[in-house]
């Protein structure tokens, strides 16, 4: 085919993702999906017919490539192209035609399409396959390139910020000329501005008797020798000569060699010398027990870049500015909190709050009230930032160790990051986790009351050549901040708080609505939690009423129980299983096979499907695991129970499973989980993966 580069097999394997077919009928989508699957491509194919659905999909979860029908007025190719360029500009779109010719292809590509393809016959399908693989690989590499560019820009920005903020003197030399320097380098040589140095030959800053040896060292470094080794030299400052130890480090800038001169700041850190009185007062306050019902915390707050700023404005002016910053910090405190001056740049606080949330609020208040504000002396104004830690206290902690730990951590944050205050300590971790759990539980209650839940699904793919019509249904929640959370993020909290059963009923009720309104053969799997199994009597009454009232094909609904839960509450699980089968619905057990009594599970429950525990696939190379796997699969076959294996992430494993007689698979190799949202108003049958 003209214009199609022959790609190596390993490159073909890179092609993955979702191919969306936008056409008036589903027949073409199925034909394309079948062809790609039969040729070993791990691609998912989806089909939609309406532009409104296309726009919604682009906003929610864009595909990796679009095939847009060109020969049917119902599908507006121009509108799809404009919509895609507006919402997802980099998304490749191909025109799907009944026939191909050079003129129509040229017109299509000039309008912004990547190419024209057809699914009319095997020859055109072969061409379509290669175009899709080419575009998917190009799209993937385009995204990787953009990501790499963003990372590079971020690294360059970080390097510039670190160079600007460090108290070490740094200068960059290119072809013997100073092309960049930081404020510390200018201050070292008594220059007021970096601009006074940029553009000067480095050798002009070196005392005359050392110029020859420094030139030789620069040449050696460019050749890769003595890179980073210390060099003692004298530099000519604006007033006097300065003796320094410099490291010359070879680097690059825009592809050109550049030598970075690094001169470590060897001065004593006077701002970190403890004020004995302030430190003693801080320690004494920490040893006083907190008021009943209150938590106390040790906090240390540092003024960032103190030495560097002091060099700019002088000792007296910096002391005035530091005092103003201390007053601003004091205004953030509550009555009863205590403030101590540990050193010229460090302030200690003993704070009392009702819970850890109060310390989080103190952290936010300090950052918003102090950072970014201007503080002034008679002749200078500086924008300051602070860093530090807040350590909620356990009465059993050693307070001397607490003081040392908080000071060390605050200094580390200030030097490495700056502008941030962290909560540290075991109590903080426990309380923050507890607080977050309470918040999630409240979000669940509100989401149930305000209907801020959505259903999502993951395909269960057939290894028997059948259409993929089985789907695991999961639940998602929109929290109070508008963020969407998947079930894994909040279902544990739901179990602990007794809300899991309510979520199960919400999911089951909405799935029944979907199945009632749809007339297709798709089978939806609904998971039941441990809470529901424990509450078997009430759930059976509720479920029986709901199933009898719903008008749907009962075999399209599968309830999924976890084997460990079944074995803990066998009689209750059996009661639910019998009620499900009595109404014609189907039954599955997941997390199957790791128990010594797994064979009894399939003998005692009327099962239709078994979903094996993920440890079978994660440890598939283990011979003992494989032996156990084969034994359980054979037992399932004898009882005509369909088998499902999850966490399938490569072709080799899928081939092994097919040879072993597994019926269905799930995993990222089949479809990323929970890609498409669905609800009672969204037609499930329009999405096929």
Residue 65 pLDDT class (50, 70, 90 cuts): very high
Contact 511, 500 (CB under 8 A): no
Question: Going by CATH, does the domain composed of 270-424 fall within 3.30.70.270?
Answer: yes
pLDDT above 60 for 73? no
Q: What is the pLDDT of residue 67?
A: 92
> What's the whole-number average pLDDT of the chain?
83
Find the DSSP H helices in 194-314: 211-222, 276-286, 306-313
What is the tens place of the pLDDT at every residue in 647-685?
887 778 888 888 899 999 987 655 544 444 444 333 343
Q: What is the pLDDT of residue 267?
A: 45
In the structure, how many helices (H) and strands (E) does the chain have? 24, 27
What is the pTM for the complete model shown?
Answer: 0.47
What is the tens place of the pLDDT at every residue in 75-130?
578 888 888 888 888 899 999 988 888 888 888 888 889 999 998 888 999 999 99
The CA-CA-CA angle for residues 397, 403, 405, to 5°, reads: 85
Question: What spatial distance separates the first Cα and last Cα of the chain, rounded to whole Å?
Answer: 29
Contact 563, 534 (CB under 8 A): no
Q: What is the pLDDT of residue 154?
A: 59
Percent of the chain past pLDDT 90, that is, above it, reads 28
Rounded alpha-carbon distances, angstroms, from residue 453 to 457, 493, 495, 496, 605: 14, 16, 17, 19, 32
**Lowest-confidence pick of 81-85, 215-219, 602-606:** 81-85
Rounded alpha-carbon distances, angstroms, from residue 213 to 1, 197, 206, 218, 231: 64, 22, 10, 9, 10
What is the tens place of the pLDDT at every residue in 303-322?
998 888 887 777 777 888 88
DSSP secondary structure, 550-605, as one string: --S-GGGEEEEEEHHHHHHTHHHHHHHHHHHHHTT-EEEEEEES-STTHHHHHHHS
Answer CATH for 168-263 from 3.40.50.970, 1.20.200.10, 3.30.450.20, 3.30.1320.10: 3.30.450.20
pLDDT above 70 for 10? no
pLDDT above 60 for 231? yes
| Domains of the chain by residue range | 9-146, 168-263, 270-424, 440-686
Long-range contacts of 544-551 (CB under 8 A, 24+ apart): 544/579, 544/582, 544/583, 546/508, 546/509, 546/512, 547/512, 547/583, 547/585, 548/583, 550/512, 550/513, 550/515, 550/516, 551/516
pLDDT above 50 for 466? yes
**Residues 416-444, mean pLDDT to the nearest whole number:** 79
d(CA 207, CA 498): 78
Please return the burial class of 23, using the count of CB atoms within 10 Å of its CB with bins 0-12, 13-18 and 19+. Answer: buried
**Residues 59-76, mean pLDDT to the nearest whole number:** 78
Expressed in percent and rounded to 5, the helix, strand and coil fractions of the chain are 45, 25, 30
pLDDT above 90 for 164? no
The CA-CA-CA angle for residues 259, 265, 268, to 5°, reads: 175
Residue 426 pLDDT class (50, 70, 90 cuts): confident
Of 437 and 332, the structure prediction assigns the larger pLDDT to: 332
DSSP state of 114: S
What is the tens place of the pLDDT at every residue in 625-646?
889 999 999 999 999 999 999 8
DSSP-based three-state secondary structure for 22: strand
Q: What is the pLDDT of residue 595?
A: 87
**Lowest-confidence pick of 39-43, 123-127, 344-348:** 39-43
DSSP state of 610: E
- Which CATH topology does 9-146 take? Rossmann fold (3.40.50)
**Lowest-confidence pick of 199-203, 483-487, 613-617:** 483-487
Residue 473 pLDDT class (50, 70, 90 cuts): very high
pLDDT above 90 for 3? no
Residue 351 pLDDT class (50, 70, 90 cuts): very high
What is the tens place of the pLDDT at every residue in 395-417?
888 888 888 888 888 888 888 77
Per CATH, the number for 440-686 is: 3.20.20.450
């Amino acid at each position: 085919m003209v214009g199609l580069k022959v790609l190596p097999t390993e490159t073909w394997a890179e092609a993955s993702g979702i191919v969306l077919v936008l056409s008036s009928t589903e027949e073409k989508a199925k034909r394309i999906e079948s062809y790609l699957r039969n040729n070993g491509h791990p691609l998912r194919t989806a089909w939609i017919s309406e532009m409104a659905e296309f726009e919604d999909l682009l906003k929610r979860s864009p595909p990796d490539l679009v095939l847009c029908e060109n020969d049917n007025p119902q599908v507006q190719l121009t509108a799809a192209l404009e919509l895609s360029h507006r919402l997802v500009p980099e998304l490749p779109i191909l025109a799907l035609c009944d026939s191909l010719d050079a003129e129509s292809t040229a017109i299509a590509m000039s309008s912004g399409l990547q190419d024209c393809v057809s699914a009319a016959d095997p020859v055109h399908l072969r061409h379509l396959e290669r175009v899709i693989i080419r575009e998917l690989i190009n799209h993937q590499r385009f995204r990787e390139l953009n990501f790499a560019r963003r990372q590079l820009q971020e690294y360059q920005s970080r390097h510039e910020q670190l160079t600007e903020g460090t108290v070490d003197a740094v200068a960059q030399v290119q072809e013997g000329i100073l092309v960049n320097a930081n404020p510390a380098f200018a201050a070292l040589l008594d220059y007021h501005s970096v601009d006074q140095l940029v553009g000067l030959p480095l050798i002009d800053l070196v005392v005359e008797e050392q110029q020859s040896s420094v030139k030789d060292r620069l040449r050696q470094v460019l050749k890769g020798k003595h890179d980073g080794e210390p060099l003692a030299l004298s530099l000519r400052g604006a007033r006097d000569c300065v003796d320094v130890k410099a490291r010359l480090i070879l680097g690059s800038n825009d592809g050109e060699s550049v030598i970075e001169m690094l001169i470590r700041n060897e001065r004593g850190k006077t701002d970190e010398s403890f004020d004995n009185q302030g430190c003693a007062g801080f320690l004494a306050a920490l040893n006083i027990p907190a008021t009943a019902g209150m938590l106390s915390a040790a906090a240390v707050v540092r003024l960032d870049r103190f030495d560097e700023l002091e060099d700019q404005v002088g000792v007296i002016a910096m002391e005035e500015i530091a005092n103003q910053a201390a007053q601003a910090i004091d205004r953030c405190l509550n009555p009863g909190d205590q403030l101590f001056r540990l050193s010229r740049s460090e302030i200690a606080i003993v704070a009392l709050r009702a819970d850890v949330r109060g310390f989080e609020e103190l952290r936010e208040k300090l950052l918003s009230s102090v950072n970014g504000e201007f503080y002034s002396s008679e002749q200078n104004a500086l924008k300051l930032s602070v860093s530090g830690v807040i350590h909620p206290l356990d009465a059993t902690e050693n307070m001397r160790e607490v003081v040392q730990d908080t000071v060390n951590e605050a200094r580390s944050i200030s030097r490495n990051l700056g502008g941030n205050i962290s909560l540290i300590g075991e109590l903080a971790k426990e309380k923050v986790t507890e607080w977050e759990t309470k918040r999630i539980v409240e979000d669940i209650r509100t989401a149930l009351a305000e209907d801020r839940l959505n259903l999502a699904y993951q395909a269960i793919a057939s290894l028997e050549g059948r259409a993929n019509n089985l789907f695991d249904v999961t639940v998602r929640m929109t929290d109070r901040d508008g963020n969407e959370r998947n079930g894994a993020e909040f279902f544990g909290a739901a179990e602990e708080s007794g809300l899991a059963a309510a979520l199960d009923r919400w999911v089951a009720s909405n799935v029944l609505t979907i199945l009632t309104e749809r007339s297709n053969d798709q089978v939806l799997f609904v998971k039941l939690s441990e809470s529901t199994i424990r509450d078997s009597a009430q759930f059976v009454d509720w479920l029986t009423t709901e199933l009898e009232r719903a008008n749907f094909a009962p075999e399209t609904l599968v309830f999924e129980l976890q084997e460990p839960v079944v074995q803990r509450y066998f009689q209750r699980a059996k009661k639910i299983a019998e009620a499900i089968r009595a109404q014609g619905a189907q039954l599955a057990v997941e997390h199957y096979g790791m128990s010594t009594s797994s064979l009894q599970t399939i003998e005692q429950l009327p099962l239709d499907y078994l979903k094996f525990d993920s440890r079978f696939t994660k440890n598939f190379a283990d011979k003992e695991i494989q032996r156990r796997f084969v034994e359980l699969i054979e037992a399932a076959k004898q009882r005509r129970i369909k088998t499902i294996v999850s966490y399938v992430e490569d072709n080799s494993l899928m081939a092994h499973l097919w040879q072993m007689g597994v019926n269905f698979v799930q995993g990222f190799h089949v479809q990323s989980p929970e890609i498409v949202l669905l609800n009672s108003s969204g037609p499930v049958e329009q999405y096929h993966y």
